[in-house]
Amino acid sequence: MLPPSHLWPIDEVWNYHAGGGVFKTIDVFNEALRRRYGWAPGVERYAMKAQVQAYETHRAMFEAFGRNKYEDATGVIQWMLNDAWPSLIWHLYDYFLRPGGSYFGTKKACEPLHIQYSYDDRSVVVVNSRRRAYKGLRARAEVYNFDLSRKFTREAELDAGPDSSIRALTIPEIDGLTKTYFVRLELREPGGRVVSRNFYWLSTEAETLDWDRTEWYYTPTKTYADYTALDQLEEVALEVSRSFEDRASEQVARVRVKNPTKTLAFAVRLRVLRASDGEEALPVLWEDNYFALMPGEEREVTAVYPKEALGESAAVVAVDGWNVAPASR
């Protein structure tokens, strides 16, 4: 999309792939990224930080609607689903059909049965978007400092009516939190199976908006959350195994990833590549991506893609992430 001579640093050529009018640059996004996550030394690190920020912000938008639906919110519109040409902004998946952080943040927030955190009042909410009720659900919230020392745990049992939003519990104000800290949520059905999980990176630095300077297209930020400590996460090597299954015109990849270290694996990204040239198999439907793995945690994640995306090549699974050593299997 960008010629090698203009990949880094960001210049006016990038703006050619932004929007028009007040959206003709990506300055607003970049200022937030710089203040919240810290600037990147190169284009690859910038891309990872941008995907994480896109995940976080899109998840928050759809979760806000889910919590407040039919009361303070009557609907939400995402502009847009995908790009008609190679572009840097707005899409959930891009011109090349590659899903990004915005796609997976939206997918997480729109789970039919979903547990989520409220940035405004620290409540933990269960959103049921199905037309059936669920009895005897158990919500669990854990708060961790940056060093992963646990600061708080609470569970609550609840029933979720059809198409409902229920505050299961509230996380209190906690003394002694590090500037960047984490909240881990799980929702289990009566038999103990996890039906929803969520992971948040939060800051003791309050993020506030300058409502008096609101424009029709955005509201300026007065103070920013501080997630710059995330750059201090030590690199981790994950244990990865995979299997492939053919289904008519499609192939299914099942990937099992485990974090054997004592460090958080943050924003783990999985891809299916063609072994012949290293290009990504697209389009692809991943069950989850850009997810976190706590020490010792293990997950299986599936992907479905057309066989024709591989051509005559075999498939390879690649894993990387914010602080994950790149590997392929």
Domain ranges of the chain: 1-110, 111-232, 239-328
The residue among 237, 236, 234, 233 whose CA lies nearest residue 328 is 237
How confident is the model over 137-184, as pLDDT tens digits?
999 999 999 999 999 999 999 999 999 999 999 999 999 999 999 999
The CATH H-level superfamily of 111-232 is Immunoglobulins (2.60.40.10)
**Contact partners, residue 25, CB within 8 Å, separation at least 6:** 15, 18
Only one residue has tokens 């054997």, namely 260
Mean pLDDT (whole number) for 106-135: 98
- Distance (Å, whole) CA 302 – CA 102: 19
**3-class DSSP assignment, residue 138:** strand
In angstroms, the Cα distances linking 139 to 67, 111, 157, 190, 309 are 15, 15, 6, 11, 40
Give the span between the Cα atoms of 255 and 271, in whole angstroms.
10
| Contact indicator for 295, 264 with CB cutoff of 8 Å | yes
- Report the pLDDT value the prediction gives residue 97, as an integer from 0 to 100: 97
Which pLDDT belongs to residue 89? 93
pLDDT band at 234 (very low <50, low <70, confident <90, very high): very high
* pLDDT band at residue 45 using 50, 70 and 90 as cut-offs: very high
Q: Classify the C-alpha dihedral 173-174-177-183 as positive or negative.
A: negative
Q: Between the CA of residue 44 and those of 7, 48, 68, 322, 326, what are the distances in Å?
A: 10, 7, 37, 11, 13
pLDDT at residue 1 tops 90: no
pTM of the complete model beyond 0.85 = yes
> Domain 239-328 belongs to what topology?
Immunoglobulin-like (2.60.40)
The pLDDT of 93-102, averaged and rounded, is: 97
Mean pLDDT of 300-309: 98
Confirm if 140 and 153 have CB atoms less than 8 A apart: yes
